[in-house]
Structure 1
Amino acid sequence: MTSQQNIETHTFQTPFGKILALKENKILKVRSIRYARSERYKKPVPVEPSDSEFIFPEKIPVCPQVISPLIERMIAPTDIESYEVEESTQFLSVYRPENCNENEKIPIVVWIHGGSHEIGCGDVSTADPTEWVKEQNIMVVTVSYRLGLFGFLGGNENRPPNLGLMDVIEALKWIKNNIQFFGGNPENITLLGQSSGGDLIAHLMLSEGMENLFQRVIIQSAPLGLRHNRQKMSAEFLKKTEHLKDETDVFKMMDDYRNFVPSIARYGLKAAMPFGLQYGFYPLCKENEAVGKWKQSAGKIDVLIGLNDDETALYLKTSEQLNRYLSKGLGKKILNKTVRLTTETIYGKPAKIFAENYAQAGGNVYLFRIHSKLKTNYLGAPHCIDLPLIFGNESAWKSAELLKDIPWEYIDKNGKKIRSLWAEFASSGKISRDSEIPDILELRKI
């Protein structure tokens, strides 16, 4: 507590306990509340209420993971000293405007981070929601959950699949029961996820026990094209990493499992995401039942789903090897065509099919696409370009190679408009025809 003595604080009285918040930059911020605990490969157990005061830790808890050189270069380097490796990574953080009326029930957005079900956490500077919270008078809750070997690989009673998904379900139950004591509206909860976080949210719509835990979803850049026929690949990857299951050194686990990723490359595009949600295991249905289950959600959950126009450029156009041969002339045309084809296969076509199926079943659904209008921007609108638009935070993005050809003023101008639209949807489930749509955004109700 010594380092926090000169910082202005606020205490929330909740059924869970007294929870300390920081007053910072015109918002109240509660970081790293533990909502559940788990033993390795065990289901999460919710944390019991306590009479003591919950004080956030000095460092941010993060699930053991391999640092991605691509993310380090294109988005932001990892400040390792800011994080504490924690195998039981069930934490959430709350951001709300400092000044709001006591009886005002603020719409809640629950942020589910991406990272191929393998990397990331709920609290990173490039997804700090402070600007959005201040601008739009919303509350944002960020969620951390188990990843990789600990959360998204399994196949039997000793190593159940979908543990990361179960973690998020426990977080949503915590939010439902406690968020009103922070000034939030427990009947107005929107889940927002990007990449594998969007994939997770789409599957929360299918999961058992989700009744009335959320009313809306915003699914950004979900790789729904990789969700099919993963059973054999998952079983093989599980078998190849079985010898690591009892390893006490988590860093050795991280180093060793990567050696087996190339061995599943024959499974095609889906092998680019070796960890994932597994159908036919709790809390998910069988794969052939998924579309029917999604249709059953129509009329209950509002959906805003979409993608960026050049998703796979983040991977293909940043490859030194590919650029060596495909940066000019015919090679450049081949590379652009490959970006287009893979973007549509993994993201575009599955999002469109999802939206059309949902609308046919009577659901309220909007489909969006983010484009690049800058001719000087080599990458176009790649995977992750939606993050600075949604979260702002120029200081966190200043060194990002992802934005090297894009002036921050361009991101800021378009980002403010998108943040306003997303907040409007989170508040009401609708986007008015009178709302201002930025040039880079194609948006339509299906």
Structure 2
Amino acid sequence: MTPTQKETTVFETRFGRIIALKEEGIIRAKNIRYAHSERFQKPVAIEASLASVIISPEKTPVCPQALSPLVEKMIGATPVESFEPDESTQYLSITRPETVAENEKLPVIVWIHGGSHEIGCGDLATANPAEWVKEQHIIVVSVSYRLGLFGFLGGDEKRPANLGLLDIIEALKWIKTNIADFSGDENNITLLGQSSGGDAIAHLMISEGVENLFQRVIIQSAPLGLRHKRQKMSAEFLKKTEALKDETDVLKMVEDYKIVVPSVIKYGLKAAMPFGTQYGYFPLCKEDESVEMWKKNAQKFDVLIGLNNDETAFYLKTSEALNKYFGKGLGLKLMDKTVEKTTALIYGNPAKQFAQNLAEAGGNVYLFRIHSKLKDNHIGASHCIDLPLIFGNESAWKSSELLKDIPWSRIHENGKKLRALWAEFARTGKIADTSEKPEILELQKI
């Protein structure tokens, strides 16, 4: 359905006349192109044009990708008919309350989606911020950027590294320049990222060219334990996908690179995420300089970082092959121990160390952990359980196996409190001791 068939409003902005949709108490300007790129080239910002009229495309643009059966099982089926592959995937969507007082400036939260730097996009129903926007009177900007071969694998002149990171920086520049025209506070911008989105945000904190683009970060379930010593793996992966760089069929391109992935398994656990941010290439420093760079920048950003208590549980406990041998008795105890150890290795210990490093350097840092607290929840608080808590939207999660043992009333009750805390942090950079906290949340100021 096109915007002209729904109730619309027009934002007169310095970027152009932007047509947005009114939907049940919120206004949404969807899929605004903030930059453009040729394949394996740096993004080029779209120039403002007061005379232009910007209408969102009928289908949501998405970076070419292969569907993940595991993610489909965890979160639910993707309605592929509503998406359009576009390898120049520099789009953002703005969701704000319908009613805003004159001259009011709302805190801005920028959503950077996860998906192993390989799948996903900014505009998925499972990350629809409408409920949060209405409850907390905030603005949420959802960003799409290049992924996989197009955005997070490089290392030579023909295929530069970190293009997806550069896309996000262009989006932040656009937001800084234009969000005031949507009643957003351009000097109160918080980045929110989950999984690889959180990894991207952590690295944006030490990127060149981000001065004054954001003030706070919320990093959820970032796999920071996989960030170390990836150079050899990335170089080999780059070399083995060389033959794909000029492929005209983008869907064939993303199917064919999977043939190469098993060859990098020898690099261990990090091979579970073969795409990623790459040290030593613009806009990032060398890996051995990264910790000092985070410490150097510690006082520039308020930080809220954490994880779910049983991050790897869904991957391990819903595997039919593993359950055959480890589904009960001593096997289940071994499985639980494996979940505990891998969660600590990939997510928990790195998040704690990250928080401590920043706090020791004078940073304002909070560390959190989300628990299940349900005795009959076999999976516990697994990877992605934070998404329905933050975004709500019950209908989008109906087919999710992740939530099959959890009543939605429990998600909503805890989620509403969590959304209030995260919004409090986005407004002030602090979470008061007196603020109501959900029972599933463990939170400490470092």
Q: TM-score, normalising length from structure 2?
A: 0.99
Which residue of structure 2 lines up, in the alignment, with residue 385 of structure 1? 385
> For the residues of structure 1 that align with 2:294 and 2:63, how far apart are their CA atoms?
30
Residue 6 of structure 1 and its aligned partner are, at CA, apart by: 4.0
Paired letter, 1:382: S
Residue aligned with 1:11, SS? strand
Residues 1:128 and 2:128 aligned together: yes
Which residue of structure 1 lines up, in the alignment, with residue 38 of structure 2? 39
Which residue of structure 1 lines up, in the alignment, with residue 18 of structure 2? 19
Paired letter, 1:142: S
Which residue of structure 1 lines up, in the alignment, with residue 114 of structure 2? 114
Instruction: Summarize deviations over 1:93-116 as a string: whole Å, max 9, x none.
Output: 000000011201000000000000
Residue aligned with 1:110, SS? strand
Residue 388 of structure 1 and its aligned partner are, at CA, apart by: 0.1
> For the residues of structure 2 that align with 1:380 and 1:387, how far apart are their CA atoms?
14
Paired letter, 2:52: S
Residue 254 of structure 1 and its aligned partner are, at CA, apart by: 1.1
Residue 4 of structure 1 and its aligned partner are, at CA, apart by: 3.3
Q: Which sections of structure 2, spanning at least 5 residues, go unmatched?
A: none
> For the residues of structure 2 that align with 1:429 and 1:280, how far apart are their CA atoms?
31
Distance 1:6 1:65, change over 3 A: closer
Instruction: Summarize deviations over 1:321-354 as a string: whole Å, max 9, x none.
Output: 0011100111101111010000000000000000
Paired letter, 2:108: I
Residues 1:407 and 2:407 aligned together: yes
Residues 1:359 and 2:359 aligned together: yes
> For the residues of structure 2 that align with 1:316 and 1:132, how far apart are their CA atoms?
31
Which residue of structure 2 lines up, in the alignment, with residue 441 of structure 1? 441
> For the residues of structure 2 that align with 1:184 and 1:231, how far apart are their CA atoms?
40
Which residue of structure 2 lines up, in the alignment, with residue 240 of structure 1? 240
Instruction: Summarize deviations over 1:271-323 as a string: whole Å, max 9, x none.
Output: 00000000000000000111111111222100000000000012111111001
Segments of 4+ moved more than 3 angstroms: 2-6
> For the residues of structure 1 that align with 2:294 and 2:142, how far apart are their CA atoms?
25
Instruction: Summarize deviations over 1:237-286 as a string: whole Å, max 9, x none.
Output: 00111000000011111111001111110111100000000000000000
> For the residues of structure 1 that align with 2:329 and 2:91, how far apart are their CA atoms?
50
Query: Where does 1:57-68 land on structure 2 (aligned, <5 Å)?
Result: 57-68=57-68
> For the residues of structure 2 that align with 1:314 and 1:405, how far apart are their CA atoms?
13
Paired letter, 1:65: Q
Give the superposed CA RMSD: 0.7
Q: TM-score, normalising length from structure 1?
A: 0.99
Distance 1:3 1:156, change over 3 A: closer
Residue aligned with 1:299, SS? helix
Query: Where does 1:113-192 land on structure 2 (aligned, <5 Å)?
Result: 113-192=113-192
> For the residues of structure 2 that align with 1:298 and 1:268, how far apart are their CA atoms?
31
Paired letter, 1:48: E
> For the residues of structure 1 that align with 2:76 and 2:44, how far apart are their CA atoms?
33
CA contact (8 A) 2:3 2:55 kept: no
Instruction: Summarize deviations over 1:174-225 as a string: whole Å, max 9, x none.
Output: 0000000000000000000000000000000010011100000000000000
Query: Where does 1:212-227 land on structure 2 (aligned, <5 Å)?
Result: 212-227=212-227
> For the residues of structure 2 that align with 1:203 and 1:25, how far apart are their CA atoms?
36
Which residue of structure 2 lines up, in the alignment, with residue 296 of structure 1? 296
Query: Where does 1:310-321 land on structure 2 (aligned, <5 Å)?
Result: 310-321=310-321
Distance 1:300 1:397, change over 3 A: same
Paired letter, 2:98: E
Residue 84 of structure 1 and its aligned partner are, at CA, apart by: 0.4
> For the residues of structure 2 that align with 1:161 and 1:12, how far apart are their CA atoms?
36
Residue aligned with 1:92, SS? strand
CA contact (8 A) 2:2 2:58 kept: no
Aligned positions, number: 445
> For the residues of structure 2 that align with 1:73 and 1:298, how far apart are their CA atoms?
38
